[in-house]
Amino acid sequence: MSGTRRRPPQRTGSGSRAAAGRGRRRRGGARKRWIDYPRADRTGPRRWLPSWRQALASFLFCVGGVAAAVGYAYATVTIPDPNPSTLLQNNVYYWSDGTVLATDGSVNRENVTLAQVPADVQGDFIAAENASFYTDPGIDPQGIARAVVHMAEGGSVQSGSTITQQFVKNTYLDQSQTLSRKFKELLISAKIGASMSKQQILQGYLNTCYFGRQANGIQAAARVYYGLPVEKLTVSQGAFLAAAVNEPSLLQYADTDPRARKQAQARWSWVLDRMVTTGRLTQQQRARVAAAGFPAPRKWAPGSGLTGQSGYLVQLARSYVQAHDPSVTDSALSRGGYQIRTTFDRRRTAELARAVAKVRADRLDAAHRAADRDVQVGAASVDPATGRILAVYGGPGYQQAHYSDNADTSGVPVGSTFKPVVLASALQYGAVLKPGTPPAPITPRSRFDGDDGIQIKDRQGNYVTDDKDPTGLLHQHNDTPHRWGYITLRQAMEQSVNTPYVQLGEDVGYGDVARTAKTLGLRPESLAAPSAGFYIGTSTPSAIRMAGAYATFAASGMRATPYSVTRVTHDGAVLPGFTAPAPVRALPAAVADNVTDVLRGVIARGTGTRAQALGRTAAGKTGTTDDYRSAWFIGYTRQLATSVVLFKEDPAHPQLQSLAGVGGLQKVFGGDIPTEIWTRYMRDALTGLPDLPFPAPASLGHGSDEPGLPSPKPTPAPTGHAGKPGKRTTTTVTPRPGLPASGPKCHGHKCR
């Protein structure tokens, strides 16, 4: 037994198993794995089930990885520049009463400040879109989850995005529905939420939402759905707009489509319920809103654009703005954001258009009379005291493809409506009646040769050559061969006799007449070159400028330059340079008032007698050009000066044509169709205003006559009783205002 070796004791338990494992690993030659997966000590499917330690470690690793990735993405992502389209706005033009005249631009958007949006309307959007807006960090996972569950259960459509997320999507990203875009939206929203105030975010959101009807932003939506500025929206109207944001493509037709109307009412009611739930309305307030009924949007006319006179008014305002602020370029206007308040009177503009339409319908028949085709009308109405352009008629409208503004065109000769300018210049500067002598005083009683076909002399005593034939001498003609003899300038104005005013113009001189024209506001480039025809209207000022010139007579010589814009703002900032032009003294009051007194006679007993139908104190002048290529009437009261021009032009061949035969008339004069339009418009435009008298004209003293005036025949000595020579007496007759002081004898206020 002593030779027998004793075996060492065997270890049992876990140690034995570990040893066995080591033995196995040693036997297999494999090294220990860092992650025991698949699990080596398991067999079958159990080998692929991770231990709880492995599962926890994997979860923590994934969460940490995601957190690290998100943290890195958040740290590296930058807030991009806003989309260029979100920077675009429209330009808004306002009537003088503050209502919207028109908008233009590629995007219908007008940004507003949050302060302009009523608090209840802000509450509509917050209740409908993001009740936790003022407390969340810009993203709301619980809100997203709730929206998903609610929609899955068949509830109404709810937005899963916060207002901040929607602002980010509208302003910085696109509308794609990809996972990467959504992830980027969440990151940027978190950054925006940390860097911008809630007020800034809500303002940006309301300005970038699309509401349907081509309206971007709440201001455009307020106007297109309710015809109101955003400041005047009610909580009920705001609830509808908050509903429209959710389904704009459908709810924009809530005015006409029954299905859209039903959906809009349901969503509107839901928004109001949410206002109660979030504490922004009480049940009593909610009941009052409901009792008032659904705020149906007004009828929508898609693509209405600049119709009627709005296109011409907008173009006038744009031109005025650009002329007074060089920074407002076409490029700047194309980006939008301008709010332009104009002088245009909404009522009077409509009345002027109606007057033109009525007279055209009554007098013209293009369907049956070829001469009535392509007849154009232009008109402008100006306030004499301020120069505000109150109304224009530029043509049938852009919708008729007529883009040229007939009221602002320069290319139509003004004819005899220029004669008052010549008279005003003569009254102020005098006329050289004999070569080498100083200018002699002129008054409306001064007499000039009114016969047809007379030759005209210049200030040096030389005969004037013919404009149409420089090699021949001018024989100036009137409209008729009537032999007037030497007549007063007053009567020559009343009967629109040319020869006295051509000779008077030559005697005054082109320089002084042109100076007076420019002083009255006519643009130098519109004035014709020196010629005999210049004095009877070969110049081509616009209807607006001619109305402004006559307005100076109405204002006793104070010229208020016609203007069309009172205020311009850009993104809320007021631009300088748009204060109203101050009236300036253009003519002595005595000169202007005497011209007015003469022009009253044109209506009282001259070529403008149709204007008597106005039934008010008024003054004016007719005008007709050679070959009847244009016909004018310009008239005024103390409160309003209006010019009307009639001409004919084929749009395909822009050249003035004769008006002969228009309206069935052999000859078309300014005292006919233009005067009828003027009278009809002025009657409506002056409704409710008093009939104000013009100032009595001051005496201009003794005036000189044109040389060659025959001496008056001696008056036979009066005889006493029984045929005895009696004492010769002289009777001085003071003419009634508006009647000639000499010339034809007048009895019973009728001239023979």
Give the rounded distance of the alpha carbon of 118 from its chain centre: 27
CA distances in angstroms from 617 to 416, 557, 604, 692, listed in the order given? 22, 18, 10, 7
Domain-terminating residue out of 685, 720, 741: 685
pLDDT at 742: 35
Asked whether residue 63 falls in the same domain as residue 174, the answer is no
* CB-based contacts of 507, cutoff 8 Å, min separation 6: 426, 431, 432, 433, 459, 706
Lowest-confidence region among 24-38, 308-322, 332-346:
24-38
Query: E-strand spans in 463-559?
Result: 475-476, 486-488, 558-559
Asked whether residue 610 falls in the same domain as residue 558, the answer is yes
**How many domains does the structure of the chain reveal?**
3
Which range marks the domain in which residue 278 is found? 108-292
CA dihedral 645, 650, 655, 659 (to 10 degrees): -50
* CB-based contacts of 24, cutoff 8 Å, min separation 6: none
Residues 467-513: tens digit of each pLDDT:
777 778 899 999 888 999 999 999 999 999 999 999 999 999 999 99
pLDDT at 178 over 80: no
Does residue 453 contact residue 445 with C-beta atoms inside 8 Å?
no
Domain assignment present for 29: no
* Cα–Cα distance, 734 to 177 (Å, whole number): 92
* Cα–Cα distance, 251 to 255 (Å, whole number): 9
Q: Is the peptide bond before 737 cis (omega within 30 degrees of 0)?
A: no
Domain assignment present for 92: no
Torsion sign across C-alpha atoms 378, 496, 561, 346: negative
Asked whether residue 59 falls in the same domain as residue 187, the answer is no
Report the first-to-last Cα separation within the chain, whole angstroms. 180
pLDDT at 21: 47
Domain assignment present for 396: no
Which H or E element spans position 515?
A: helix 510-519
* CB-based contacts of 321, cutoff 8 Å, min separation 6: 328, 338, 340, 565, 568, 578
State the residue for tokens 């209807």. Answer: 543
* Cα–Cα distance, 345 to 737 (Å, whole number): 34
User: Tell me, what CATH number does 647's domain have?
Assistant: 3.40.710.10
pLDDT at 568: 97
Asked whether residue 486 falls in the same domain as residue 546, the answer is yes
Average pLDDT, the chain: 85
**AA letter at 424:** A
Asked whether residue 463 falls in the same domain as residue 590, the answer is yes
User: Tell me, what CATH number does 268's domain have?
Assistant: 1.10.3810.10
Phi (first) and psi of residue 415, to 5 degrees: 60, -145
Does residue 379 contact residue 644 with C-beta atoms inside 8 Å?
yes
pLDDT at 441: 97
Asked whether residue 471 falls in the same domain as residue 608, the answer is yes
Does residue 314 contact residue 101 with C-beta atoms inside 8 Å?
yes
Other C-beta atoms within 10 Å of 457: how many?
A: 18
* CB-based contacts of 480, cutoff 8 Å, min separation 6: 452
pLDDT at 735 over 50: no
Give the rounded distance of the alpha carbon of 297 from its chain centre: 25
Asked whether residue 61 falls in the same domain as residue 128, the answer is no
pLDDT at 286: 95
Domain assignment present for 629: yes
**89: which DSSP letter?**
-
Residues counted in the chain: 752
pLDDT at 467: 78
Residues 430-450: tens digit of each pLDDT:
999 999 999 999 999 999 999
Does residue 321 contact residue 655 with C-beta atoms inside 8 Å?
no
Asked whether residue 539 falls in the same domain as residue 678, the answer is yes
Torsion sign across C-alpha atoms 496, 502, 503, 507: positive
For 184, the 3-state DSSP assignment is helix
Which is more confidently placed, 708 or 147?
Answer: 708
pLDDT at 303 over 80: no
Phi (first) and psi of residue 569, to 5 degrees: -125, 150
* Cα–Cα distance, 221 to 45 (Å, whole number): 65
Which tokens hold the place of 35? 């992650």
Report the share of the chain in percent with pLDDT over 70.
80
Domain assignment present for 238: yes
Q: Which whole number is the average pLDDT over 389-398? A: 96
Give the rounded distance of the alpha carbon of 117 from its chain centre: 24
Nearest CA to 521 among 545, 542, 537? Answer: 545
| DSSP H stretches of helix in 325-451 | 330-335, 346-363, 419-429
Which is more confidently placed, 669 or 40?
Answer: 669
* Cα–Cα distance, 478 to 669 (Å, whole number): 13
Nearest CA to 633 among 642, 624, 644, 641? Answer: 644
For 393, the 3-state DSSP assignment is strand
* Cα–Cα distance, 500 to 227 (Å, whole number): 57
* Cα–Cα distance, 671 to 612 (Å, whole number): 11
Give the rounded distance of the alpha carbon of 414 from its chain centre: 27
pLDDT at 60: 72
Domain-terminating residue out of 235, 267, 292: 292
Asked whether residue 576 falls in the same domain as residue 649, the answer is yes
Nearest CA to 347 among 311, 381, 370? Answer: 381
Domain assignment present for 402: no
Domain assignment present for 306: no
Domain-terminating residue out of 57, 77, 97: 77
Asked whether residue 137 falls in the same domain as residue 240, the answer is yes
pLDDT at 192: 80
Which tokens hold the place of 275? 């206002």
| pLDDT class of 184 with cuts at 50, 70, 90 | low
* Cα–Cα distance, 56 to 46 (Å, whole number): 18
Degrees (nearest 5) of the Cα angle 236, 237, 239?
65
Which tokens hold the place of 15? 């140690």
Q: Which of 7-11, 370-374, 562-566, 577-581 has maximum average pLDDT?
A: 562-566
Asked whether residue 657 falls in the same domain as residue 581, the answer is yes
pLDDT at 88: 83
Cα-only R_g, the chain:
43
Residues 107-148: tens digit of each pLDDT:
888 999 999 999 999 999 999 999 999 988 877 766 556 655
Domain assignment present for 191: yes
Which H or E element spans position 28?
A: helix 14-28
* Cα–Cα distance, 352 to 681 (Å, whole number): 5
Nearest CA to 623 among 501, 519, 531? Answer: 501
Asked whether residue 141 falls in the same domain as residue 242, the answer is yes
pLDDT at 585: 98
Other C-beta atoms within 10 Å of 481: how many?
A: 9
Residues 16-43: tens digit of each pLDDT:
444 444 444 444 455 666 676 676 677 7
Which tokens hold the place of 174? 């696109």
